[in-house]
Structure 1
Amino acid sequence: MSKQPNFLFIITDQHRADHLGCYGNPVVKTPNIDSIAKTGTRFDRFYVANPICMPNRASIMTGRMCSAHGARHNGIPLSKDHTTFVELLRDAGYRTGLIGKSHLQSFTGLPATNQFEPKEGKRAPSAHLQDAYKNNRQGEEYELELVPDWDRPISERLTGDFYGFEHVEIAADHADQASGDYLLWAREQRSDFDDLVGPDNALPDNRINAPQAWRTAVPEELYSTSWIADRSEDWLAERAQEDAPFFLQMSFPDPHHPFTPPGKYWDMYDPAEIELPSSFGKGNLPPIKAMQRAMEEGTDPRDNQNPFAVTEDEARAIIALTYGMITMIDDAIGRVLKRLEDLGLADNTVVIFTTDHGDYMGDHGLMLKLLLHYQGTIRVPFIWNDPTTPVPANADQGLASSIDIATTILSRAGIQPFNGIQGRDLFLSDPPEAIIVEEDSQRTMTGFDKPQRVRTVVTDRYRMSLREGENWHELYDLESDPYELANQYDDPNYESVRHSVTEAMLRRIINLQDRSPLPAYRA
């Protein structure tokens, strides 16, 4: 049997597919990520299972939809009862490491947005019977990523592995407010580190005025992006002394908001030279109009995780800062790729690049994510580079999903997947006729009077989104309307299209119904 391959799995946070040079962006500088695509396969129609951090990261880890693994939204940890592909790698003799963002468990420590509410006149069930799941993912083993309690490294608080990772060093949160193991390290480097972070400690700069943007006082060498690259290089150097294959997940918290690229990356891109998205200021869906109105009236604080509307100048500034964050990540990736070469590991290491979800980034005049499944939020980059089978900048046009990552990695490692995995091998199986995207909001946002539950289907030509409890839905012809400006859901001329896309959606949902657990019959 040939030697098992190593894997370097690089994942960013909130990163659109078209915010890379190899995906056609002519402005942002990403030569190192582009180099992965140059002799690898770039998937042009790769979609998330869920456009939110925790749910989609759980889907990547399990190869299963959120409706199967249950981590439907941020705040719901991935259950230890669910098998991950990293556990299978470790079971097969791989050394496994996670450096950077995990977000498989909650890190805010805030009260749950949805809680069991006793009904007047009814006897409430006992606490352990209030949920359909008796193991409701609470307790110390699900509080390992809580930032308020992070007084020592997670490795010292673990019993056994962490979802299959035997080595774990975590950067929680985002931008210059990143925390976790990274923050413990940063405080060791500078005793006054806490006086460098956040908007109150920002360096003066009156050129950029946009929500959640400030010029951080944290120097480049102490920023989380640099720390992740440093620690990844050290971990790889240790693996070079061993014969066992390895899997390293190098996970960057950026380019997620807030927008705080440090040092030279802050003004690397000029907002005045940034082109606005073609859809900016267009779109008449109820939440878009509500967010625009809230911005104009000053009733939306725009300082939290909820999507919000922006002006043209704000959009240009935020995109420019995001490009700076991306280029810093690209430089860090370049360092690690060079280290792979220097250590003699590159010839047998499959390098993978992706992200957990996208961002509006000015599409329809909006920022962040949630609620509306435009291409910018659900279509993400996925690049696969196998040095044993290099290809000349291949572009795969087949529909693909986050749930396919686990199956593809296991297949390349020569490991049989567990029962119930829902993804496909991207290289050995045909694309499905449709991709499903799930979203289950836990809070009410601008333009709505209740949390939203959305199901989206993407076919070769169309994107349709249905939402529970609303009187409007969406249908776009991506072939003639790539910027999703003309909602055809109620157009009589598209009635037959709507019916056929709905059937494709139902067939795919049936296909994704859980096949776990196996029957319990005696042998």
Structure 2
Amino acid sequence: MAQEPPGHPNVVVVFTDQQRWDSTGVHGNPLDLTPVFDRMAAHGTHVAQAFAANPVCAPARAAIQTGRYGTTNGVFRNAIPLPGDARTLAHHFRDAGYRTGYIGKWHLADTEPVPPEQRGGYEHWLGANLLEFTSDAYRTVVFDGDGDPVLVPGFRSDALFDAAVRFVGDCTGVGDPAGQRQPFFLFLSLIEPHHQNEIDAFPAPEGYAERYQGRWMPPDLAALSVPGGTAHQHIGGYWGQIRRVDEGLGRLLDALRSLDVFDDTIVVFTSDHGCHFKTRNTEYKRSCHDASIRVPLALRGPGFDGGGTVTRPVSGVDLAPTLLHAAGLPVPEQMQGRSFLPLLRDPGTEWPDDVFVQVSESEVGRVLRTSRWKYYVAAPGADPWRDAAADRYVESALYDLTHDPYELVNLAGVESHREVADELRQRLADRMVEAGEGKPLIEPAPVVATTGQRRVDPAVRTSSLRPTRLGHQPPQ
């Protein structure tokens, strides 16, 4: 069982862009892409079911920074800056005496370089609002605190990890014997394994794409060979980028050891959303599927070492309250997420067996994702660029994740699953209201003709829908 963290530990968040959960070894990827992450998950805490609050860049990031959904914090789609009065992780850690730093991609401003008033309260700044447009694989241009461009050398993720090591060194007094150590909170936001927009490719370091091209592919990508899908073309570069990021994570952990702050530092690794390689719509995310919404999440350090595996579904809105709680800081009542740290200390802690996800830009949609079921509704008359929410939705997808984990058979409208859909519909409506939305009208999906062979065992259906108390597994 994880122990209470002593004092106010340092906190480092390593944040990737567009990384699927099944890119990691602990989730069954056989290519040994993430040995460092896998060790973190094994010896620290692994959140086995972690989900974005929205599978779109800016809303997912805003939710993590504020602990609030996009319809509450105002950032429900891209191209909306984080409101100036929004309280972020940086504000809370600064108020507690931490030195705060942000390195990498921000995507919560409306101009480049990001002006100080749009940096979410971070003191040290070495970032770009849209790093994918200010850089490429071997030319990383970010902006410093004065707004001046800085070229950091090396492969892009390496360059940003190098900057993170320098920041940690500065905070620990390296090169200044008279300097005093100050607790620090660092948010390191990488662009990898996001595609390079202007060439629609996933450029990896030399030799890395070739190492993985033509090898293992997640079953959904292998099965969904739709026109326009790019998985077979790009999977080598995608895997190669992830391998290099993991190597950078290892260097960062080694630096913490060298600087004698490893045991006093919480390190988090996660991503904003996943990637389906244009197999579900015309781009890479913005869908209800786990390929879009499910992400890796592991934590190590004070409060998390020996934490085992959290098996309950956890949302991006839960990360901010968890980190504040782990650092011994108060969690504001305004946060809509909740700390999952109690799950590590008491396996009997009450925790829901579902997460709520908002989908924007492709359409106005809402997801209820339980350990077994995926239920999705979309608003047919809504403008996804203008409307944060809607009054009327229609059932669009239902997946039985126990028997169809890669969501290849849509059961929406299948009569054998009508009772399941009705129960999930009510749970989703309740979740929307809890998130601050109005009570919606959700219309059933049109009836779909089937062979009549499908059925749901009533006992299995009931037990799989009911929330349980089980939320944690100790390390093996």
Note if 1:245 corresponds to 2:187: no
Q: Distance in 2 between matches of 1:463 and 1:389?
A: 29
State TM-score, norm by structure 2: 0.78
Larger relative contact order, structure 1 or 2 (CA cutoff 8 Å, min sep 6): 1
Counterpart residue number, 2:402:
479
Greater Rg over alpha carbons, structure: 1
CA contact (8 A) 1:434 1:460 kept: yes
Counterpart residue number, 2:351:
431
Counterpart residue number, 1:341:
257
Q: Distance in 1 between matches of 2:161 and 2:64?
A: 22
Say if 1:329 and 1:272 are closer, same or farther in 2 by CA, change over 3 A.
same
Q: How many residues align?
A: 397
Note if 1:267 corresponds to 2:267: no
CA contact (8 A) 2:18 2:193 kept: yes
Q: Distance in 1 between matches of 2:281 and 2:367?
A: 21
1:200-349 equivalences in 2 (<5 Å): 221-241=153-173, 242-258=180-196, 259-269=202-212, 271-275=213-217, 277-278=219-220, 280-282=222-224, 292=226, 295=227, 309-310=228-229, 314-349=230-265
Deviations 1:198-242 (A, max 9, x none): xxxxxxxxxxxxxxxxxxxxxxx5232121111111111111123
State TM-score, norm by structure 1: 0.71
Deviations 1:277-309 (A, max 9, x none): 2464449xxxxxxxx4xx4xxxxxxxxxxxxx2
- Name which of structure 1's ranges 341-350 and 317-326 shifts more when overlaid on structure 2: 317-326
Q: Distance in 1 between matches of 2:371 and 2:220?
A: 22
Note if 1:180 corresponds to 2:149: no
Off by >6 Å, runs of 4+ in structure 1: none
Q: Distance in 1 between matches of 2:282 and 2:220?
A: 12
Say if 1:366 and 1:360 are closer, same or farther in 2 by CA, change over 3 A.
farther
Counterpart residue number, 2:127:
170
1:15-164 equivalences in 2 (<5 Å): 15-106=19-110, 143=111, 146=112, 150=113, 158=116, 162-164=119-121
Say if 1:75 and 1:178 are closer, same or farther in 2 by CA, change over 3 A.
farther
CA contact (8 A) 2:50 2:295 kept: yes
Of residues 380, 383, 395, the one that matches 1:469 is 380
Say if 1:170 and 1:474 are closer, same or farther in 2 by CA, change over 3 A.
same
Counterpart residue number, 1:401:
315
Say if 1:28 and 1:368 are closer, same or farther in 2 by CA, change over 3 A.
farther
Tell me how far 1:62 sits from its aligned partner.
0.5
Q: Distance in 2 between matches of 1:400 and 1:472?
A: 23
Q: Distance in 2 between matches of 1:281 and 1:367?
A: 17
Say if 1:467 and 1:389 are closer, same or farther in 2 by CA, change over 3 A.
closer
Show structure 1 runs of 5+ residues with no match.
Answer: 107-142, 190-220, 284-291, 296-308, 442-450, 515-523
Tell me how far 1:268 sits from its aligned partner.
2.9
- Name which of structure 1's ranges 489-498 and 164-173 shifts more when overlaid on structure 2: 164-173
Tell me how far 1:79 sits from its aligned partner.
0.5
Counterpart residue number, 1:384:
299
* Structure having the larger proportion of residues in strand: 2
Say if 1:268 and 1:22 are closer, same or farther in 2 by CA, change over 3 A.
same
Q: Match of 1:369, SS? A: coil
Deviations 1:114-150 (A, max 9, x none): xxxxxxxxxxxxxxxxxxxxxxxxxxxxx3xx2xxx4
Q: Distance in 2 between matches of 1:228 and 1:76?
A: 25
Show structure 2 runs of 5+ residues with no match.
Answer: 174-179, 197-201, 343-348, 382-393, 438-476
Deviations 1:79-115 (A, max 9, x none): 0111112201110111111111111124xxxxxxxxx
Of residues 3, 6, 10, the one that matches 2:7 is 3
Please tell me the root mean square deviation across aligned C-alpha atoms, in Å: 2.5
Tell me how far 1:22 sits from its aligned partner.
2.4
Deviations 1:241-279 (A, max 9, x none): 23321111111111000211132334232x232335246
Q: Distance in 2 between matches of 1:331 and 1:323?
A: 13
Q: Match of 2:341, SS? A: coil
Amino acid at match of 2:121: G
CA contact (8 A) 2:209 2:239 kept: no
CA contact (8 A) 1:42 1:382 kept: yes
Q: Distance in 1 between matches of 2:290 and 2:401?
A: 10
Counterpart residue number, 2:458:
none
Say if 1:420 and 1:389 are closer, same or farther in 2 by CA, change over 3 A.
closer
Tell me how far 1:163 sits from its aligned partner.
1.2
CA contact (8 A) 1:349 1:387 kept: yes
